[in-house]
Amino acid sequence: MATLQTLPEAAALFPANGMSGSPALAARSFFYSVFKHRRLVVGVFLLVFLASALMAVLRPRTWRAATKVLVKVGEAVQLAPAEAPSRSVNVPLNPDVVAGEAEIVKSRQVLEEAVVRVGIKPESGISMAEMISKMQLALAVAPAPGSNVLQISYLGRNPERAAHLVNTLTDVYVEHHNKAYANEGIHSFYADQLRILESEMKAAQHRLRGYLRRTKVVDVDQEIHILNQDLQDADKSLRGHREKIGGAERKLVEVTAQLGRTPSHVPYSEEYRANPTIQTFKDRLAGLEIERYQELQRYQPDDRHIRDKEEEIANVRARLHEEKDRVLNVETLQENSIYRELQRNQLTIEAALADLRERAAPMAEHVTELKKRVHQLRDQRFMINNLKQVADEKAYAFDLYWRKQEEARISEAMKTQSIVNVTVVERATAPLEPENGLLMPLLIGLMSGLLVGAGMAIAVEYLNRRLRFEEEVERYLELPVLAVIPELHTAPDVAHG
């Protein structure tokens, strides 16, 4: 048996209202949910933690071996205008220099030569190109902070093999770097390239001029603009002309309907005479009267013979009343002037409509030709733009190589000058610890298990819409709680008291 448990007087005097006590209530709800569903929390935690630990144990180990290369940036010649002397400036180790060296290290030629020296063979089912692409992903080149040192690191599955490969790769990189920055023969190389680029530039310009001459285009954008304006005007005129044709057709239909309703001739004069049918009916009526009188001498008034005669007399009288006193003898007709005018309007409209229809076809053909020409010019604009782009690229490349030739000529004149020098300052050794250890995955699994378990407990409790605490009752009902009936298994003394 449950009993009422009264709250302290302070709770009755100071009921919870608004958001007061919300943080405490949220913390209380959190711990209530976690401890209520502690088996679920522990189960989810163990599941996530064991899965993370299993993945950390089963995944393959990788080791990172690294070498360090000192990059010394020398002086570079800066070409000045003709009125000012040229001068040399010191080039710092900027991101461009780092990116250039990284591209040399990751180049396919350097990696292929290093693989050949080490003696690495591709695995079965993998080509040499695919293996080189994967090695480029495992290779990293980054500058050491606050120094002119580049760190070349390689991530491999074998520590000794990774160290041997990165050392060999560094040697090959130094050799290729020296070849790339060698000064001998650069001037002649640029001179040969300039002759090739000059011929390509002239050929591109000749193709552009020939295409413009064949298509008879002077300014394609201006011509397209003018044609678009003409096309809009012609299309507007064509729509107006077709509206005129529609109006003429509707007018012709209406005039034809009026012509059908109007008679071609109208009465001019009429001559009437007495209706001879009336005299015939009168004679017949007099004869029937005589016959009726004679029959009355022989029969009774209600006899059948008398009734037949009376019925015949009544029919003749009715027919006599239906006849007109005069009938038309002679009628003169003349042509209807309205009908003649409607015929004239019909013929005029038909002629105008035929003329409008004849002029509609050339106007439509003109609009079609304008559209075709606009589309043709738009296609030609793409071709012209492509030819212009090719010609501009060839001209830009020619100008760039000309500047490079001048720089190479000055550089060859300074035999002792070098732009970028590299020196190996530290070679790689076999790493002792793998790159992907067990500590971080275990920590991540520990935190993830706790968070997922607590989150599921809170979610399960959130779906339960019951009120659990006095504060929730006061917040939802906005009334103070006066008493609480505890559960029997939580208050056995009260229940048995």
- What is the mean predicted confidence (pLDDT) over 286-291? 84
2 belongs to a structural domain: no
274 belongs to a structural domain: yes
pTM of the model: 0.36
- What is the mean predicted confidence (pLDDT) over 290-302? 82
User: What was the pLDDT predicted at 216?
Assistant: 79
Strands (E), 197-344: 265-274, 326-335
User: What was the pLDDT predicted at 7?
Assistant: 37
**474 three-state secondary structure:** helix
What total of structural domains would you count in the chain? 3
Task: Tell me the pLDDT tens digit for each residue of 425-447.
Answer: 788 787 767 766 667 777 887 78
Confidence of residue 2 (pLDDT cuts 50, 70, 90): very low
6 belongs to a structural domain: no
Q: For residues 125 and 165, state if they share a domain.
A: yes
- What is the mean predicted confidence (pLDDT) over 367-372? 89
Looking at per-residue pLDDT, the higher value among 54 and 6 belongs to: 54
147 belongs to a structural domain: yes
User: What was the pLDDT predicted at 240?
Assistant: 92
Residues 132-156 as b/e (b if ≥16 CB within 10 A, e otherwise) read: beebeeebebebeeeebbbebbbbb
Q: For residues 38 and 102, state if they share a domain.
A: no
Task: Tell me the pLDDT tens digit for each residue of 158-203.
Answer: 788 888 888 888 888 888 877 766 655 566 777 888 888 888 888 8
Q: Percentage of residues in the chain with pLDDT exceeding 90?
A: 2
Confidence of residue 243 (pLDDT cuts 50, 70, 90): very high
315 belongs to a structural domain: yes
Q: For residues 75 and 94, state if they share a domain.
A: yes
Instruction: Show which of 296, 319, 335 is a domain's final residue.
Output: 335
pLDDT at 461 exceeding the cut of 80: no
CA R_g for the chain: 57
Q: For residues 114 and 166, state if they share a domain.
A: yes
- Confirm if 405 and 226 have CB atoms less than 8 A apart: no
d(CA 303, CA 293): 13
Amino acid in position 420: V
Confidence of residue 270 (pLDDT cuts 50, 70, 90): low
d(CA 368, CA 231): 9
Q: For residues 74 and 50, state if they share a domain.
A: no
Instruction: Show which of 277, 300, 335 is a domain's final residue.
Output: 335
388 belongs to a structural domain: no
Q: For residues 54 and 149, state if they share a domain.
A: no
Q: Which domain holds residue 312?
A: 265-335
Neighbouring CB atoms inside 10 A of 237's CB total: 13
Instruction: Show which of 320, 335, 350 is a domain's final residue.
Output: 335
Q: For residues 48 and 108, state if they share a domain.
A: no
Q: For residues 71 and 33, state if they share a domain.
A: no
Q: For residues 151 and 175, state if they share a domain.
A: yes
107 belongs to a structural domain: yes
Contacts of 65 (CB under 8 A, 6+ apart): 153, 154, 156, 159, 162, 163, 165, 166, 428, 429, 430, 431
pLDDT at 137 exceeding the cut of 80: yes
User: What was the pLDDT predicted at 468?
Assistant: 61
pLDDT, the chain, mean: 76
407 belongs to a structural domain: no
Q: For residues 32 and 75, state if they share a domain.
A: no
Q: For residues 104 and 177, state if they share a domain.
A: yes
Please give the backbone phi and psi of residue 286, each rounded to the nearest 5 degrees, phi first. Answer: -65, -40
Q: For residues 52 and 153, state if they share a domain.
A: no
Task: Tell me the pLDDT tens digit for each residue of 209-234.
Answer: 888 888 878 788 888 888 889 889 98
Confidence of residue 486 (pLDDT cuts 50, 70, 90): low
d(CA 301, CA 293): 10
- CATH code for position 74: 3.30.70.1130
